[in-house]
Chain A
Amino acid sequence: METKNIRVFFSKTGRAVYISHLDLYRLFQRAIKRAKLPIWETEGFNPHVYITFALPLALGTAGLCESMDTKLTEDISTDELVQRFNDALPRDIRVLSAAEPVRKATEIALSEYEAEFDCDSEAFTKFLSAEHIPAEKKTKRGIAELDLKQHLNVLEQRPGYLRFSFPSGAEFNINAGLLFDAFEKISGTEIYSLHITRTAIKCSDGKIFG
């Protein structure tokens, strides 16, 4: 049969948030081998299963809508695919669904996040309402200064909780953790606990990346 493109959506939570992007790649390769899934292998000197991730997730951040693209060499029902993946994956990585890709990874424009944290609420509100939020972003070319405020879109805020979005994608991406690093630096106070979860990935037209 012709190969069939498939996009696998999964969550990465709990203990799995500390798995780096490179390690996640190996983890899925092994899971595919264990599950004996009919995944297309690259040709050439050193064949390996073809998988690619639409958008990397920062170390320490959980994700509920992560996705991986691959190619099937045999027809297999979505239910079976999901089941076999989940039997072969560690507990804190769960495949949620799979479908033929609709949008291209290059169309990704932003990510929405939920953060639960424990810090001085007043200081945090003051921090968010400032005109500029300067931060440093590590890039391939070194450290770049940027103003987070320009890119931040707060969707919901209450003490210890923030729902917000940042630009995402291959062109320009802001790690959600930068906001909280900036808070600690600017306010001089400490965040005692912090859990960030990516809850949605959206395209430039505002629609969910699917």
Chain B
Amino acid sequence: MYKDKLDRILLKVQKPSRYIGGELNSIEKDPEKVTMRFAFCFPDTYDIGMSHLGMKILYSLINSVPEYWCERVFMPLPDMEEQMRKNDILLYGLESLEPIRNCDFIGFTLQYELSFSNILAMLDLAGLPVYAKDREALTPIVCAGGPCVCNSEPIADFVDICILGEGEEINLELMRLLEQCKAEGVSKHEFLVRAAQIEGIYVPSLYDVQYNEDCTIKSIIPLEGAPAKVRKRIIADFDSVYYPETFVVPFSEIVHDRAVVEVLRGCIRGCRFCQAGYFYRPFREKSVDTIKKETVSVCETTGYDEVSLTSLSTSDHSEIEKMLACLADYSDAARVNLSLPSMRIDRFSEELLDRIKSVRKSGLTFAPEAGTQRLRDVINKNITEENIMNGCRIAFEGGYTAVKLYFMLGLPTETMEDIEGIAELCQRIIDLYYSLPSRPKGKGIKISVSLSTFIPKPFTPFQFEPQPTEDVIKERQKHLMEVVNTKKVQVSRSHFDVTHLEAALARGDRRLSAVIYAAWKKGCKLDGWTEYYHYDKWLEAFSECGIDPSFYVNRQRSYDEILPWDHMDLLIDKSFFVRENKRAHEAQTTPNCREKCSGCGVSRCIGRACFPNG
């Protein structure tokens, strides 16, 4: 164990407590008494990874099995990496402080494409070959899960196994299989062939991908009995799904430093740009009793004074009012603040505002996503201008003077009129503010516009769409800056360089493994961090591999093209995405799932209607 070696270096790095473990509720087991060891790697820094709910759930779940031990592993920042390399310290787990290369599983959770290079960096720091084919021994098995696994092709050469869908059941099944294979002494290849038979397991090396001359995919052929389509795993009974009684409480402050309770999974909305909205289908929610029980448990065992009710759209819980009333009783008595992220502006009411006002009155964030009704219909946001105005009015009358609005630039069918619509919408909100007699006295209004760039993602109706080119994006950004002519509106925009890479990786195929390798060799890692991101090196890597990123970013795909992720089955029909894409181009909206089933295919797969009246 590295304790002594770490004592020698930790005072030389920033915020050392994140590299030493030992936090409250972290789990240490006797290595002699465990049969399977799982290194759960979050391919970003501790401060970010420790905020992630999925890791907390799966960490506790694996550790609930007495003979299995799950440890946490994060990407060290460059100052720490330098010290580790200088002192021959391999990447280690925070619980045992032992090298993770001795674990049975090294599992990465992939939350965003810009963390791909960190997988290579972490495997290398662990003292392991980055290419799966070069790791010949049965263990460690390198696996990956999380939403990016719906198209894991760009990292296909590096990981042994991908886990598609929700990990609460499948992770333990996979661990039991490896335990058995270890006992039998089978080869890694044999293990992979057997693992591919588990529903939700994707073994990239068991698929042969052939390309056409124009670089599109010709065929994806499963080998050695692997399924032609890998079917996403979902938890059927979400109300009784495993949820940790407690969380590890970091010593230092992290990004989301609070208790979290997941109130629902999936989303009824069907926004056409949103991958999560399709990835996590079907919509399932927890009962108010379960939410209350989990809230109390997590708060009491961590000592946090804030709990966040999280989901893709918390205000869509069918019993949101009852839930909040019930939780307010507890939170008032226990002096815990409730926070409600992910609120839809059309579900915003005086009552909801009262609930969240007690926490803090900093500002409210809404996401209209587009400046005109036409474009909001194209993306199926299903929010009207009236909804937006009404939400803002409630906020202003409730004492708020600042609102933050999220917009996307570069959406399909977008014109300059839609860009101007953003500025006009902001002006109407300003006018509304000053028209209200009950507005906060003596205070001006501040609108922060956060302008991100649309990135077409797999498993969305926009998966066929091009992202506009650099010139177009920059021109539209510039135009918005020109038409916003009041200091009351502040615009922040995303950097083209970063969205460009994310767009290429999101819809990439296996040929991108070579590019990621080349970029990593040039020193690319921590790409999500502005200070460490090197766009020029990525472009060099693409060019050296003879690959033009615009093939992935700016190309319109036909509906019948074989997409790199077509052998993944998210329980949603490709024909549904085609249908939705066509409706988008006609600016036709689709009602939310609770109102009317849109026939995406999920209900057929789960063998029941998603909603009682469906």
A residues at B contact (CB < 8 Å): 14-16, 18-20, 23, 26-27, 29-34, 59-60, 88-92, 177, 192-195
A-B contact pairs, 22 of them (CB 8 A): A15-B21, A18-B19, A19-B17, A20-B15, A20-B17, A27-B251, A29-B303, A30-B302, A31-B24, A31-B303, A33-B305, A34-B303, A60-B10, A60-B11, A60-B16, A88-B24, A89-B24, A90-B251, A192-B8, A193-B4, A193-B8, A194-B7
A93 to B348 alpha-carbon distance, docked (Å): 45
B320 shortest CB reach to chain A, Å = 27
Answer whether A19 and B302 are a contact pair too, CB < 8 Å, given A60-B11, A90-B24, A177-B11.
no
For the complex, what is the distance from the CA of A20 to the CA of B11, rounded to whole Å? Answer: 11
Q: Does B431 contact A (CB under 8 A)?
A: no
* Distance between Cα atoms of A177 and B10 in the complex (Å): 13
Of the candidates A19, A29, A32, A194, the one whose C-beta lies within 8 Å of that of B251 is: A19
Docked pose: A36 CA to B251 CA in angstroms: 20
**CA separation between A177 and B252, bound complex, in Å?**
22
Q: How far is the CA of A15 from the CA of B22 in the complex (A)?
A: 6
CB distance from B303 to the nearest CB of A (A): 3
Residues of B within 8 A of A92 (CB): 22
The one of B7, B16, B253, B305 that contacts A59, using a Cβ cutoff of 8 Å: B16
Interchain residue pairs A-B with the least CB separation, the first 5: A15-B22, A30-B303, A34-B303, A33-B303, A18-B16
CB distance from A179 to the nearest CB of B (A): 14
A70 smallest CB distance to B (angstroms): 15
Contacts of A14 in B (CB 8 A): 22
- Closest partner residue, chain A, to B13 (CB atom): A18
Instruction: Give residues 245-264 of B contacting A (CB, 8 Å).
Output: 249, 251-253
CA gap between A163 and B24 in the complex, in Å: 32
Minimum Cβ distance to chain B for residue A62 (Å): 10
| Shortest Cβ distance from A29 into B: residue | B303
Q: A20-B15, A34-B303 are in contact. List 13 more A-B contacts (CB 8 A).
A: A18-B17, A23-B252, A27-B24, A30-B304, A30-B305, A32-B303, A33-B305, A90-B24, A177-B11, A192-B8, A193-B4, A193-B7, A194-B8
Q: Which of B10-43 contact A (CB under 8 A)?
A: 10-11, 15-17, 19-24
B301 interface residue (CB < 8 Å to A): yes
B301 contacts A34, C-beta separation under 8 Å: yes
Q: Which residues on A sit within 8 Å (CB–CB) of B4?
A: 193
Q: Is B424 an interface residue (CB 8 A)?
A: no
Q: Which residues of A contact B19 (CB under 8 A)?
A: 18
State in angstroms the CA–CA spacing of A32 and B305 once bound together: 11
Assembly CA distance A208 to B304 (angstroms): 35
CB of A58 to closest CB in B, whole Å: 9
0/1 string, B223-261, CB within 8 A of A gives 1: 000000000000000000000000001011100000000
Tell me, yes or no, whether B300 is within 8 Å of chain A by CB: yes
Given known contacts A18-B10, A27-B251, A192-B8, A91 and B22 CB-to-CB distance under 8 angstroms = yes
Q: How far is the CA of A89 from the CA of B25 in the complex (A)?
A: 9
Question: For residues 164 through 209 of chain B, which have their beta carbon under 8 Å from a beta carbon of chain A?
Answer: none
Complex CA distance for A91 and B27, rounded to whole angstroms:
11
Contacting residues, chain A, for B11 (C-beta < 8 A):
59-60, 177
Chain B residues positioned under 8 Å from A29 (CB to CB): 303
Q: Which residues of B contact A26 (CB under 8 A)?
A: 253
Q: Tell me the complex Cα distance, A33–B334, Å.
A: 9
- What CA separation (Å) do A27 and B248 show in the bound complex? 12
Chain B residue at minimum C-beta to C-beta distance from A177: B11
Contact present for A23 and B253 (CB under 8 Å): yes
Please indicate the chain B residues that have their CB under 8 angstroms from the CB of A15 in the complex: 3, 20-22
In Å, the complex CA distance between A193 and B7 comes to 7
- Is B252 a contact of A20 with CB atoms below 8 Å? yes
Contact across chains for B300 and A23 when beta carbons are under 8 A apart: no
Structural contact, B20 and A18, CB atoms closer than 8 A = yes
Q: In the complex, which residues of chain B have a beta carbon less than 8 angstroms from the beta carbon of A195?
A: 7
A90, closest chain B residue (CB): B24
Pairwise interchain contact B303-A90, C-beta atoms closer than 8 A: no
Question: Complex formed: what's the CA distance from A27 to B11 in Å?
Answer: 20
Q: How far is the CA of A109 from the CA of B7 in the complex (A)?
A: 28
Are the C-beta atoms of A90 and B16 separated by less than 8 Å?
A: no
User: Is the beta-carbon distance between B251 and A18 smaller than 8 angstroms?
Assistant: yes
Least Cβ–Cβ distance between B473 and chain A, in angstroms:
42
Bound CA–CA A20/B251 (angstroms): 8
Smallest CB separation, A148 vs chain B (Å): 18
A88 partner residues in chain B, CB cutoff 8 A: 24, 303
Least Cβ distance of B297 to chain A in Å? 12
**Nearest-Cβ distance from residue A1 to partner chain B, whole angstroms:** 20
B245 CB to closest chain A CB, in angstroms?
13
Q: Which residues of A contact B3 (CB under 8 A)?
A: 15
Contact, CB under 8 Å: B302 / A34: yes
* Chain A residues in 8 Å Cβ range of B303: 29-34, 88
**How distant is the Cα of A131 from the Cα of B117 in the complex, in angstroms?**
54
Whether A23 and B7, one on each chain, are in contact in the complex, defined by CB atoms closer than 8 angstroms, is no
The reply to whether B23 and A90 form a contact with Cβ atoms under 8 Å apart is: yes
- B530 to chain A: closest CB distance in Å? 25
Taking CB atoms and an 8 Å cut-off, the chain B residues in 345-400 that contact chain A are: none
